[in-house]
Structure 1
Amino acid sequence: MSRYESPRVNAGAAKVVLIVLIVLVVAGLVAASSVKIVDAGTRGVLLHWSAVDLTQPPLEEGLHFVTPFADDVINIEVRTLKYERSTTSASRDLQTVRTTVTVNYHPEKEMIHYLYKNLGLDYENRVIQPAIEETVKQVTANYNAEELITKRPLVKADIQDEITDRLNEFNLATEVISITDFEFSLLFSQAIESKVEAEQKAFKAENDLLRIQVEAQQQEAQAFGIANANIAEAEGEAKAIRIINQALAENPNYLEWFKTRAWDGKLPLVVGEGGTPFIQIPISP
């Protein structure tokens, strides 16, 4: 009997081991399917039988348990993202303009399940790219080429407001929108350069003229001051002469007194006629 029972026991044991293995595999698959991880910097969109479950809010970062085999989780990044696009448009005066726009944005954290349902994961090409191209063409058509340069802050504000409004409709929040470059045709760029150079020369000529006018005014003021000084000096000398003439008329001895004031105490080398000194020194009796 033992010879015939041994193969049966071995076959039964093999079946048990196989069943256990199958159970473990199934349990492992169930466990793996019921556990989902939402990565850092992302939010999870819960799918139930491949359909977006809008009744549940997006899943936060970390470990989550879901219905095995029926549910799945799609991670969508909600950190600041960057999208850059260059587009060609025409200004109001029909100048060709190549504009490069950079958009820093992020998906709305609490609305990513609607974003995924409506656009999927390719929302940059579906929404952001056409929004930039249409907005740039629309805004640049409102300005001539020179205004696009001189009124750049205003142009940027128009582009930023329009792109922001367009992306908000799809639950995409803009942070910073920058116009990184305005490129014009070579002919127009040369014309602008020539105009700037001419304006600089005109400004220099205007400054030179102003400097010449100021210098002329300074010279005129200086000449006027010198003339007034000469007049004052001449008037002073005339007044002095009148005073001396009046003193001589009133006192004949005034001249002799004046000579003594001017004499330095030395006899002159030049004498008058007959040996008389040119300056006579009055001697008291």
Structure 2
Amino acid sequence: MSEPNVTKMPTRFGGGIKTIVAIIVVILIAALSFESFTIIQAGNRGVVLQLGAVQDKVFDEGLHFKMPFIQNVIPMEVRVQKAESSQTSASRDLQTVSTTIAVNYHIDGNFANKLYQQVGIDYVGRIVDPAIAESLKAVTAQYTAEELISKRPEVSAKVKEVLNQKLSAYHILLDEINIREFNFSEEYNKAIEAKQVAEQQALKSKLDLERIKIEKEQEITKAQAQAEALRLQKQEVTPELIQLRQIEAQLEAIRKWDGKLPSVTGGATPFINVGQK
């Protein structure tokens, strides 16, 4: 009988280990390859963390190499973002003012790492929203309620200026703001309405007085002109002018005569004095 082959089992076992090791190596290489690259999507910047520490370099859009398991990349959106909120503040004359303000802003991509380092991901709740409320309150306190309405463009410009200073300190750039209408208490609205009615009535009374004054002046001027005309006419009346007017009247009567003598008593014949002095 032949002796059993006792060396075949270790050989097979050793081959299995090599296969497992090879698979692990392939997996590690694939993992290293995957971890060695990162893709920054459009409208974002990549903040590089190396063992938790923020690095100076900021990744732009596209494919980038990073050290696997050592560096981590945090995406930060740099597109224009919108924050809209309803705010309540007080005017200089202590009227309660309610308004809705919409703000467009974006992160300065070159300093996205600084913003992440100073504030973190929640910069909207920590920086943007409080800055909007503080800026609006600071500016409305400089104007009366009436001025907030009549000087609205000026108020908006000042709010934008103050808000821009607050946001730029954290590398957030302000694009535009839009302040919707200011709303006040019902009592104040009634007082404003009553004041407007009074002003309109006062303006109407003033216009009526001016109209009456103008009409009176026109009547006086007209009367003065008529008096002056009569005075001039009296100065120009002479006996010759009177006789001329008489002759003109008789000639007009002759022109209108139909050729029939009127029935008269006393034997007088009309037009007998024509041409006689």
With the shorter chain as reference, the TM-score category is: 0.7 to 0.9
CA distance in 2, matches of 1:173, 1:103: 11
CA shift, 1:221, in A, is: 4.2
How does the TM-score come out when normalised to structure 1? 0.79
1:277 to 266, 269, 274: 269
Q: Distance in 2 between matches of 1:39 and 1:46?
A: 15
In the aligned structure 2, how far is the partner of 1:131 from the partner of 1:93?
23
Give the Cα–Cα distance (whole angstroms) in 1 for the partners of residues 23 and 170 of structure 2: 49
Match of 1:193 in 2: 193
Unaligned 5+ runs, structure 2: none
Q: What is the aligned partner in structure 2 of residue 158 from structure 1?
A: 158
Q: 1:224 to 1:9 in 2, by over 3 A?
A: farther
Per the alignment, residue 211 of structure 2 pairs with 211
Q: Name the SS of the counterpart of 1:170 in structure 2.
A: coil
Q: CA deviation at 1:37?
A: 0.6
Q: Distance in 1 between matches of 2:4 and 2:231?
A: 156
Alignment root-mean-square deviation, CA: 3.2
Please list every run of 5 or more consecutive structure 1 residues that lacks an aligned counterpart in the other structure.
Answer: 248-253
Report the number of matched residues.
269
Cα offset, 1:155, TM superposition: 2.5
Where 1:278 maps in the other structure, the secondary structure is coil
Q: How many angstroms does 1:8 deviate by? A: 4.7
Residue 65 of structure 2 corresponds to 65
Q: What is the aligned partner in structure 2 of residue 251 from structure 1?
A: none
Indicate whether 1:268 and 2:261 are aligned.
yes
* Secondary structure, counterpart of 2:269 in structure 1: coil
State the Cα distance separating 1:87 from its structure 2 match: 2.7
Matches within 5 A, 1:205-244: 205-225=205-225, 238-239=237-238, 241-244=239-242
Matched AA of 1:143: Y
Percent identity reads 36
Aligned pair in 2 of structure 1 residues 96, 207: CA closer, same or farther (>3 Å)? same
**Distance in 2 (alpha carbons) for counterparts of 1:280 and 1:48:** 137
Match of 2:101 in 1: 101
CA distance in 1, matches of 2:25, 2:10: 23
Matching residue within 45, 48, 70 for 1:46 = 48
Q: Distance in 1 between matches of 2:203 and 2:220?
A: 26
TM-score (norm 2): 0.81
